[in-house]
Each structure stands twice: as structure tokens, then as C-alpha cells.
């Protein structure tokens, strides 16, 4: 290998290292491509004829930067802990509505935010909804204030006729838990011919989940149930204006 070829491989590798590192840190959406690019950069540097120290130092520095970056980035983008307290006998859908000048304002404590869900499952808040990695805990609370933590469930863990790869450790279908936890959404804005938002009073975002068993989720909390729930929610929001 000539010196010219070695230099070409080395500096091309450095360029790919930098590009890949950028994709793995500041441009997370580029991470899928960034990792292969980063690996190719390492290979080019290693096969060049540069001295061992010249190879190891840049590779090591980029690796250290990436390893140090991810915990910091994760911490910055993690929402404060959130605790949801649900009436002991409540079953069904829960909506937390975030709407300006509507509902109560939750104050953050050392333990994060605590959401006390009312008996109808619809909590109206004037807080701004935060997004990021979540840390949620869900509890049923009886009349004496005793809390029972609910497990977070995933419908993908259950087998159906259309399931191609059957799960050998399917959870019991009568286990009470929280389904669709972490689901968020928003009521979109409408603009008039001048580009002005024409439905400001109707804008809101929401977080929702279901307190249910898997069997009840399929049998009781269906389209008709959701229609009735939406009607109650919409009326409650309308009265809040």
C-alpha cells in the first residue's frame, strides 16, 4: 500500500467517523445510517498504514464522545416522573386533557407530577403537555387511600388467530392492568383563508390509557364505548371554556 493510498484511507475514515458520530448523537433520526457509516470509518482507519497510536486515538475519542452523549441526551429528554391515581373501581378509558385556561394547574413536586383521576376518567388540566421519555406509575386507590400498583400491559404480548409467531409466555387475559399507556394525541388546528387559526378555543392535546383486562379491552371497551366516552369528554371540555 502506498503512502498516498494510506492517507486517503485514513482521512476518509476520519471523515466517516465524524459523519457517523453526528448521526449517532445530534441527529438521532440519522442513527440507523450513522452506525454503519461509523463502523466503515473505523475499518478504513484500521487498514491504513498509519501508526497504531494515530489510529486508536481518534477512534477512542469519537467512541468516548458518543458514550458520554447518550446518557446526557436521555436525561435531558426524559419527562419528570408521573404518577396516576385512579379510583379503585374505575374500569375503562382515561383521558388527561391539556388545554390552556381550562381545568386545574398541577404543581410539580420533588416526586414529579401526580394526576388524581376523577370518577368519570376525564381530567382537565391547564398545564402544557410535556413530551419525551416517560416514567409512569399507575395506582388504584380505595376509599381509605390504600394504593395498589397496576402493571403496564402490551396487547402485542397476547396471541390471536392472526398472530404469526405465537408468544409462549402470554400473560393471563384476566389480569387487570394499564393498556395503551403513554398514548398521546391532539385535536388539530384549523386555519382560515388568511392563515389565522380559526378554532383556538377547541385546541387541546391529551394523554390516554385504559384500565382493563385484555378480555374486557376487546369485549367491553369497543367502538360504541369510545363514542359514548368521547361525547362525555367533549361536553366536559365545552363546559370548561
Predicted pLDDT of residue 160: 83
Tell me: the pLDDT tens digits for 14-71? 999 888 888 777 766 566 778 888 889 999 999 898 888 888 988 898 888 888 887 7
In the sheet where 204-212 sits, what is the strand order? Answer: 122-125, 92-98, 204-212, 177-187
Give per-residue pLDDT as tens, 159-218: 887 777 787 888 999 999 999 998 998 886 655 556 555 556 678 899 999 999 999 998
% pLDDT > 70, the chain? 91
Mean pLDDT for the chain overall: 86
Longest dimension (CA), the chain: 81
Q: Which three cell numbers stand for residue 77?
A: 429528554
Distance, CA of 230 to CA of 226 (rounded, Å): 6
pTM: 0.72
Amino acid at each position: 500500500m502506498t503512502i498516498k493510498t494510506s492517507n486517503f484511507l485514513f482521512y476518509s475514515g476520519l471523515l466517516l467517523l465524524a459523519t457517523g458520530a453526528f448521526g449517532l448523537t445530534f441527529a438521532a433520526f440519522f442513527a440507523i445510517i450513522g452506525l454503519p457509516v461509523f463502523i466503515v470509518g473505523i475499518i478504513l482507519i484500521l487498514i491504513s498504514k498509519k501508526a497504531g497510536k494515530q489510529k486508536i486515538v481518534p477512534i477512542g475519542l469519537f467512541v468516548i464522545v458518543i458514550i458520554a452523549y447518550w446518557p446526557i441526551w436521555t436525561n435531558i429528554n426524559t419527562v419528570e416522573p408521573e404518577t396516576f391515581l385512579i379510583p379503585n373501581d374505575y374500569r375503562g378509558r382515561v383521558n388527561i386533557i391539556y388545554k390552556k385556561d381550562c381545568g386545574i394547574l398541577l404543581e410539580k413536586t420533588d416526586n414529579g407530577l401526580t394526576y388524581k383521576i376523577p370518577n368519570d376518567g376525564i381530567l382537565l388540566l391547564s398545564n402544557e403537555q410535556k413530551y419525551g421519555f416517560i416514567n409512569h406509575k399507575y395506582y388504584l386507590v380505595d376509599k381509605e387511600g390504600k394504593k395498589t400498583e397496576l402493571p403496564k400491559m402490551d396487547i402485542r404480548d397476547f396471541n390471536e388467530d392472526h398472530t404469526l409467531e405465537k408468544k409462549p409466555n402470554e400473560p393471563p387475559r384476566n389480569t387487570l392492568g394499564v393498556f395503551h399507556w403513554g398514548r398521546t394525541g391532539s385535536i388539530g388546528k384549523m386555519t382560515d383563508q388568511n392563515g389565522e387559526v380559526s378554532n383556538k378555543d377547541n385546541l387541546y392535546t391529551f394523554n390516554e390509557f385504559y384500565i382493563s383486562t385484555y378480555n374486557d379491552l376487546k369485549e367491553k371497551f369497543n367502538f360504541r364505548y369510545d363514542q359514548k366516552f368521547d361525547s362525555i369528554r367533549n361536553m366536559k371540555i365545552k363546559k370548561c371554556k
